[in-house]
Amino acid sequence: MLGIGETDSQILSTLKDLAEINVDIVTFGQYMRPTKRHMKVVEYIHPTKFDYWKTKATELGFKYVASGPLVRSSYKAAEFFIKDKLLANST
């Protein structure tokens, strides 16, 4: 989740760490404060920044990247799973 005070260098470092251990899927979404008892949103991320992180993650070799304000950790997970299995069976 983006928007809780993270820096670009922290995000990039985390992506590189995940790529090094062969993580296949990464998602970027906007943190939204569910209630006043939860931590505040530090920043609302512009949609072009989500596109930027999708490009960076793809360049690092992630097989699936979902990136957008409404994306959550399981965003379209079933579709990716089926597509990945179909591609694996066709080779």
**Tokens coding 8:** 């670009």
pLDDT given at position 86? 60
pLDDT given at position 62? 95
Q: Is residue 2 part of a domain?
A: no
Q: Is residue 51 part of a domain?
A: yes
∠ CA 35-75-32 to the nearest 5 degrees?
A: 20
**Tokens coding 91:** 């080779």
Enumerate residue ranges in the chain where pLDDT < 50.
none
Q: Is residue 64 part of a domain?
A: yes
The parent domain of residue 72 ranges over: 8-88
- Is residue 27 within 8 A of residue 63, CB to CB? The reply is no
Q: Is residue 3 part of a domain?
A: no
Q: Is residue 17 part of a domain?
A: yes
Predicted TM-score (pTM) of the model is: 0.80
pLDDT given at position 15? 99
∠ CA 5-28-58 to the nearest 5 degrees?
A: 120
Cα separation, 22 vs 14, in Å, equals 13
Which helix or strand (DSSP H or E) is residue 64 part of?
strand 64-67
Q: Is residue 84 part of a domain?
A: yes
**Tokens coding 32:** 């939204």
